[in-house]
Structure 1
Amino acid sequence: MKKKYADLTDRMFNSINRFITTDNKRSAYAVYPQNGNERYYDDNVWIGLDMAELYEQTKENRFLEKAKMVWDYLMVGNTSSCGGGILWREIPAYSNKHTCSTAPAAVLGCKLYQITKEQKYLDKAKEFYAWLIQYMQDPSDHLFYDNITPSMTIGKSKYSYNSGQPMQAACLLYNITGEQQYLNEAQQIARSAYSKWFTLYDSKELGEKFYRINGDHAWFYSVLFRGFLELYKIDGRRDYVTAFEKSMLQAWMSECRNQTTNLLSNNYFIGKTNSSWQVLHEGAFVEMLARLAVLELEGK
């Protein structure tokens, strides 16, 4: 079994690295595996986070090398416009700074610091987190806006993953520094995110009422879950994690799951009929189930 998963990891690693291009004399992951195609800073940082996590699990330097490659690329998108932060896209050129590129960069900086103990990663993680708090956080509810233009106009849409990553970054910064402010802010974000993206649900399948995801996008709330899990490791508050646990159990036992294929419906959580099945959504469901399985194995 171990060899099976090692082989799958090798296949993933070798396949995704085919998408590395060298435009502007900088290596990074592109949308298609050929120079001149679109390259996004946020696409890269999500891959970088996975590479860092794979390194933590395996201690194989190939994963750390790619996480560092992504970090070096992110630094190119960390320009002085908009007060800081990281651009969303490199090719074609784009000028807005986004929460979805900057917040996970703060998380990656924390993880690379924990792995390498190199101060530059922690310094940038703190910088990115401070920028998010100053420019992208709504002070009325502690949740995060989507983007900001060079003229400092804020795009005020709120998506669950854009609050999940600052929550996770705050938790990691608390773990590293011991500064209470970070934990307080993570808990504030958690309370507001729970209030916004969960609603009381009466489940006939489970025979109980519980707070269930009313999520906007399966992958978005899988990233939100990362933040709640990081917080749970610190404060032991189980109700947030239990809400995800019951939401996934509800999904598996209900019409959310296609009984023939076992695929789960992204639209189920927003009360719509599913018309397509996307790898992005299914991967998100698998991630949430896998992280819950790890907690179960650990007796948590």
Structure 2
Amino acid sequence: MVCCFFIAVNYCSNAQPVKDYRPFINSVYSNINRYFYDAGNKLYYEECVQGEKQTHSFLWPLCALIQAANEASVINPSVNYIQPVVDAIDQYYTTATSLPSYQASVVKEKKDDAFYDDNQWIAIAYIDIYNREHEKKYLDAAVMIYDFMMTGYDSAAGGGLYWKYADKTTKNTCSNGPGILVALQLYKITNDNKYLQTALQLYNWVNAHLQSPDGLYYDNIKIPSLKIDSAKYTYNTGTMLQSNVLLYNITHDKKYLQRAESMAAAATNFFYKNNKLPGHYWFNAVMLRGYIELYNVNHDKQLLHLWYNEAERIWRDEKNTNGLLGHNARKKSLIDQAAMVEVYARLQAVN
């Protein structure tokens, strides 16, 4: 399949804020199915680029899409968003790792490494689906992923999880933050204390080794040099923010809530510049999860104002004539479409 030609279009900048995001959700998801779904193979394409043949997606965009499918299902429960994405994810399942996992590429097309964070994002979404639908297969898959992720733990750099199964050179916030969330959510379901202990172990390690002085998070620590990659990304803030709120909900220890509120303020100050967030939609969608988790506890609507502004700015300024979203006029990506479905659906849910 060769993707269609794109024409960028701008909309009036003084449009009034939109509070009903259901038409946005429906439009973007329809375009996902139109431009990115390979029905014959039950797979998805990574990108849609003018004049280029499409290739099947890496697993990472499907991590975004399965979460988007869950959030869209909350808003439109009669639509079957989830099963086509699960059918695609199943084609990444591998037993080539020491415990079963999902590798980065379609198994029948390429042997590839397994990323711990890819697996964790799927587990997070599957737990959310389980909590809504109570289908045990989703919980079973999340437990499988938890077991796999723990193969990435060792004592190098004092603990923590590696980023990739076959590459022991870096331990990242992006593989430990979501690991905390997987463990906490499994603890909430099972009441098995091992999950809470894992969550606290990872939480304490990240804060000891990767938290920056402003309360946000660096990207990774190199093994064995222990050199810190000081880049900061919104999704790393998002997982740790959400972890603090969940720990507060579980333990009722106010230090976690105080940390979450301080982190949200620091994140807004650091990332929201010139009335916009950095350009990676999905990183930002993960940060939104943390903001909404905090909002559900403290009910401070001010937390969400930047998100309404950002969601509407993207719809106004970064949507082409085909309704596809992204700041690159020539290339549109599955992960960007999925991220914005999640953003619009989450904002709709808290409206």
Displacement of 1:101 in angstroms is: 0.3
**Partner residue of 2:194?**
120
Q: Deviations over 1:182-203 (max 9, x none)?
A: 1111111111100011135xxx
**Partner residue of 1:76?**
151
**Partner residue of 2:84?**
11
Q: Does 1:249 align with 2:312?
A: yes
Q: Is the 8 A contact 1:21 1:33 kept in 2?
A: no
**Partner residue of 1:228?**
291
Matched ranges for 1:203-214 at <5 A: 212-214=275-277
Q: Give the stretch that moved more between structures: 273-282 or 189-198.
A: 273-282
Stretches of structure 2 that go unaligned for 5 or more consecutive residues are 1-72
**Partner residue of 1:142?**
215
Displacement of 1:236 in angstroms is: 1.2
SS in 2 for 1:23: coil
Q: Is the 8 A contact 1:159 1:216 kept in 2?
A: no
SS in 2 for 1:214: coil
State how far apart, in whole Å, the 2-side matches of 1:285 and 1:106 are. 24
State how far apart, in whole Å, the 2-side matches of 1:248 and 1:288 are. 7
**Partner residue of 2:102?**
29
SS in 2 for 1:248: helix
Q: Does 1:167 align with 2:241?
A: yes
Give the % identical residues: 31
**Partner residue of 1:54?**
129
Pick the aligned partner of 2:336 from 275, 278, 281: 281
**Partner amino acid, structure 1, of 2:174:** C
Displacement of 1:15 in angstroms is: 2.0
State how far apart, in whole Å, the 2-side matches of 1:188 and 1:144 are. 13
Q: Is the 8 A contact 1:136 1:144 kept in 2?
A: yes
SS in 2 for 1:262: coil
Aligned length: 274
Q: Does 1:103 align with 2:177?
A: yes
Q: Deviations over 1:157-197 (max 9, x none)?
A: 11111111100000000000001111111111111100011
Stretches of structure 1 that go unaligned for 5 or more consecutive residues are 201-211, 268-272
Structure 1 segments of 4+ aligned residues over 3 angstroms from their partners: 1-4
Q: Is the 8 A contact 2:277 2:284 kept in 1?
A: no
Displacement of 1:213 in angstroms is: 2.8
Q: Deviations over 1:90-146 (max 9, x none)?
A: 13x23210000000110111111111111111111111111111110012x101000
Structure with greater contact order relative to length (CA < 8 Å, sep ≥ 6): 2
* 1:130/1:256 CA distance change after superposition, 3 Å: same
State how far apart, in whole Å, the 2-side matches of 1:130 and 1:3 are. 38
**Partner amino acid, structure 1, of 2:98:** K
State how far apart, in whole Å, the 2-side matches of 1:192 and 1:26 are. 38
**Partner amino acid, structure 2, of 1:251:** I
Matched ranges for 1:285-300 at <5 A: 285-296=340-351
**Partner residue of 2:325?**
264
SS in 2 for 1:183: helix
**Partner amino acid, structure 2, of 1:219:** W
**Partner residue of 1:44?**
119
**Partner amino acid, structure 2, of 1:101:** S
State how far apart, in whole Å, the 1-side matches of 2:261 and 2:115 are. 30
SS in 1 for 2:196: helix
- The TM-score, its normalising length taken from structure 2, stands at 0.75
State how far apart, in whole Å, the 2-side matches of 1:216 and 1:120 are. 38
State how far apart, in whole Å, the 2-side matches of 1:236 and 1:155 are. 35
Displacement of 1:283 in angstroms is: 0.6
SS in 1 for 2:165: strand
**Partner amino acid, structure 1, of 2:95:** T
State how far apart, in whole Å, the 2-side matches of 1:274 and 1:116 are. 46
SS in 2 for 1:100: helix
**Partner residue of 1:88?**
163
State how far apart, in whole Å, the 1-side matches of 2:142 and 2:85 are. 15
Q: Is the 8 A contact 2:277 2:310 kept in 1?
A: no
Displacement of 1:155 in angstroms is: 0.8
- The TM-score, its normalising length taken from structure 1, stands at 0.87
